[in-house]
Structure 1
């Protein structure tokens, strides 16, 4: 490059590239540091791996040494070579000194030496420091990537280096204690007979994380009776994100577009929200979309709104009208999953709007929907009826299990009717039969609910035997019908019914929300 003048240097940046390692320690030498990183072969191997993780063994000579892992991150750095050269003026001054020594008389040799020495000091005093030495800077290479060791080192199982020496000393001590003891005793164990089984890693993670432990399922019934119901966790409040984003920037426009979508409706599924942004001309990546959402929304890690993005300040557990945004799943029958496996690479080609309108058969074996988005008149009519429950439960939300079971069968009919290949006719017929049965159960459940409400409104009618007689007969007939319908097998709803009923009575009924926790969010639930 050249000499540094006034803190500046000019030159051409070379095209050669290198990578940096932020070494988490103070090695005694560069060669020792390279050895702890696996040597040159280990560095080349790490560069060729897809994981881009560099292993650092602080004791490379120990085969049981567990490594610390360094992650590769992009950067924009330069590798400089700084050198210091003596100034040409200083060399000239030294040359003049030698000439002054030679020009003096032989008799007055001492006098001339002293005078020339004083003149040298005067020349050095007149020259500035920059003229004495020159700093030169050369850019050796560009550094676009660097390894960072931000995690913790794994637990170490240290083997004594001098174990063999200690074993020999112990053997000599035993021979001195009992010189008549046999040499081939049980204490004489060779190194080859010792087997050390140490796992590759003791800890699966090198970064601490916050975890929420579920309550123990072995609690006694007495403790369950005495347990006090914990209040719902407080939902996050709205933040003033306008103060942190420059107005008029691309990020501002994208953030405002996401904010306006939550003004349209308070709860969104990620697929629908991403498609709406694309239709508006905002092509936002997955990581950036998550940042935009975390500023204006949050999500639950369990319950009927699982992994749905909810507007900050809005609590769907306290608003009965939020039932139309609840979650419902559609699972492809095992006999049809080969179709989904064959179209795994084409999942991104399907529009979310077409799937919710039942125009195409989904390519995923399990898909989560919002009831609000399903384009079916029967489903929309059912979810807009007054809720049968006064509270929002973790298992079924604002709906009863009978209602959700009925809606699942309706969704199965609509999707099976769009299956593009033969082989789903018997499944469609079975789904239609199960749907009719669920409709009858739903109607009976509604009649019983209306009777209970009527009895609460008119308690004097409870003692009237003339009015109660026909009701008793009807109840007996309904019980007979329930036993009859209950004897029919239901291949689709049996497993889900047992899970939801167990969830309603289990100790795992708790609500918890998470805000922008990287690494815990699965694409399956987005």
Structure 2
């Protein structure tokens, strides 16, 4: 059909549509929508990036196991074609008009397998199979006593899921000697997932590498990470030579997927010592620079004072249940290489920086001293005298005096406790906190800290005198 400028206005190129490859022949659109949970469930699956689309071939049954559809990035158009057919020649059609109904960027495909289906059907005494669904799942208001009808109801307790995964698995759970003979020579070992980073133990004498592992550069090319993201992180390391992963992600608002592969190219990682858990730029030695004390790590733990400990979640939650197939695995999802990682995630400020208004998001959290925006702690760092020429840092405390971190933890604890009180007063519900505050404070504080009768200002001077 030739292009017509008059009909071009009818095209709706800006209208965004979602394509769903339904695994079946649709004769009734209403039943098709009901099998996918209706418009509400479909909208939730489309709006959430990690949510999978559920399809139940028996939506009226509670025991129906769903079939999951995965989302894929695509590029296509939806065409609305009007044809004309003759009654005597129904197989021949003449195209009268073609209209673009919209463009498609997202498509759901049901490529996975459906879980085992267990029907609530039983054989009666005469050998006929009957469905006991109405007896197992009552409808309406229950007026009879459960004990009266429980004897006639058959036992039907199917598990939540029979299989852990809905895709074919190639793992062979056999002994090592048997597995070696069954698997081919080129399939005995899976591909290495290392990022080829340089992870080092802290030492005062061992020299630090000045260049990254050449294999780490290949990883960036294979992952197709944009040069804009690499240059953004490189400039950040030129301004500040030592970073934690969380601080870099939060400051630049980057995703973990890109930062994890770029960091091994920018610096080395200390697994212990004063700069443990940080990435140090290649060519920079924090053991030789006194200003690197600002980049040392402070581990802060929220103490169990009243209801404060219960209101803040733990860092890691172990869940022994089976993986939920309703949500897609983030590692297996396809990534759009043209989509930049900049501004793709928004991290909370309190996850890597501490201010006078901070309430930590976790009970155990790590800060660099430069990210602790507390004037008193910054003044304490500035008051530390410059060491003499030839003096090296301490293997445990770095460039800081002994017990400096303990004093900082006390200051942060007082700030967090004060902010928690303000938050409780703002919610006009302080009864729970006031009742439990006094008793638990005496138990949770360390005895060594309670016996210290010296004031805060005198203790600051004591730390500085110890350093001298």
TM-score interval (norm. to shorter): 0.3 to 0.5
Task: Give the number of the structure whose alpha-carbon radius of gyration is greater.
Answer: 1
TM-score by length of 1: 0.42
TM-score by length of 2: 0.46
